[in-house]
Amino acid sequence: MADGVRTAAVFLERKPYFGATLVHIPFLRLLRRAYPGVRIVALSPAGSMGLLRDEGAADEFVRYDWSFSGIRRTLRAIAPELVFVLRPASRGLDLAVASCRPRASAGYESWLGRLLYSRVAPASGDIYRARKYLTLLFEREAALSVPLDGWFREAAAFSAFRAPSGRVLAVLPGGGSGDFKLWGVDRYLELCGRLASLDRSLSFLWVLGPGEAGLREKISVSPVAGRSSVLQSAPLRDLAAAAFSCAGAVGNDCGPGHVFQMCGCPFTCVMSGLDGKGGRCADEWLDSSNRPFAVISAQGEPITSVRAEDVLASLLGRLRT
């Protein structure tokens, strides 16, 4: 899009959730590969997005004031040659970026975007969010097929995590953005019990975040305790190492689920259809290889209405040997 790029500014999403942060990583890595030596400055009103700087995916992180003048002042101080706006349908942000007249810019298609940006891509909701961002770098066909695991392979090389021997299923019972996403640890334990009776060689790795620390006791006294291990509040490098070593994963729509997906691990997701948007959420938050295996509660029904046997049926045959 531009030659001689020394600095690229990337406006990230505003949602402060772990998963919403992680899905930016493939874009940032491929941006760096497209422009070797570029200084990448990530920007968001959500301070949690600073994780991308801490993990080395971006060189700097700026938490900016959400106002036209604040964005303009911040962007002028950075002085980038290239700007990407990963947040669609924000006219104020579009206008503030355009007013700084960067050499080249990219954002999502709208009547205003077509006037202001050097490159526009459709703001499509039928593509996994991590790949949607890539459409600002590549044509859609390439964005749909490019591997997402590069950064995670590099991170996993520095991990001290060692997976249990044999075939391991990762269980991801978290979901920090609301209880409506939580299928419940009792249901996951029931599912693991059924799997254990079908496959005596299978063990379970429970991936827990800070909000799930209280689940350890239930797991430790469950019938599958002897075949269970716990990965608690792990850094990204350990999550990546686990994703590459596991035969598959099952869980809620949660941050670690995106690590497992982007690492290419088969992921069966249990999702809520309570608000009637379960299918749309699956399109946006599951990669195409995992979307057909999502188990979504019926429209108007909570996630807890999903039966363990339905999740079991979706899982069987998906686990890597």
Does residue 197 surpass a pLDDT of 90?
A: yes
pLDDT of residue 230: 97
What is the extent of the structural domain holding 43?
7-146
Dist CA 285 CA 246 (whole Å): 21
If asked whether residues 305 and 160 sit together in one domain, one would say yes
pLDDT of residue 88: 85
If asked whether residues 132 and 211 sit together in one domain, one would say no
If asked whether residues 128 and 270 sit together in one domain, one would say no
Dist CA 70 CA 87 (whole Å): 17
Q: Which of 146, 169, 188 is the C-terminal boundary of a domain?
A: 146
Residue 94 belongs to a domain: yes
Asked whether 8 and 81 are in contact (CB, 8 A), the reply is yes
Band of pLDDT at residue 95, cut at 50, 70 and 90: very high
82: left (phi over 0), alpha (psi -120 to 50) or beta: beta
Report the pLDDT averaged over residues 86-91: 87
Report the pLDDT averaged over residues 14-25: 95
Does residue 1 surpass a pLDDT of 70?
A: no
Number of domains in the chain: 2
If asked whether residues 213 and 167 sit together in one domain, one would say yes
If asked whether residues 186 and 59 sit together in one domain, one would say no
If asked whether residues 309 and 161 sit together in one domain, one would say yes
Separation of CA 286 from chain center:
9
If asked whether residues 129 and 206 sit together in one domain, one would say no
Q: Which of 89, 118, 146 is the C-terminal boundary of a domain?
A: 146
CA dihedral sign, ordered 283, 287, 289, 291: negative
Backbone angles phi, psi at 104, to 5 degrees: -150, 150
pLDDT of residue 78: 97
Q: Which pTM value belongs to this model?
A: 0.95
Does residue 90 surpass a pLDDT of 90?
A: no
Which residues are CB-contacts of 246 (< 8 A; sequence separation ≥ 6)?
163, 168, 169, 170, 205, 260, 265, 320
Dist CA 24 CA 90 (whole Å): 18
CATH number, domain containing residue 28 = 3.40.50.2000
pLDDT of residue 65: 81
Encode pLDDT of 206-223 as tens digits: 999 998 989 999 999 999
Beta-ladder partners of 230: 206
Residue 1 belongs to a domain: no
Q: Which of 146, 176, 204 is the C-terminal boundary of a domain?
A: 146
Dist CA 232 CA 8 (whole Å): 35
If asked whether residues 125 and 249 sit together in one domain, one would say no
Band of pLDDT at residue 4, cut at 50, 70 and 90: confident
If asked whether residues 160 and 298 sit together in one domain, one would say yes
Beta-ladder partners of 43: 11, 62
Helices marked H in 88-146 — which ranges? Answer: 91-99, 111-116, 129-134, 140-145
Report the pLDDT averaged over residues 168-176: 92
Dist CA 284 CA 146 (whole Å): 17
- Average pLDDT of the residues of the chain: 95
Report the pLDDT averaged over residues 15-36: 96
Residue 130 belongs to a domain: yes
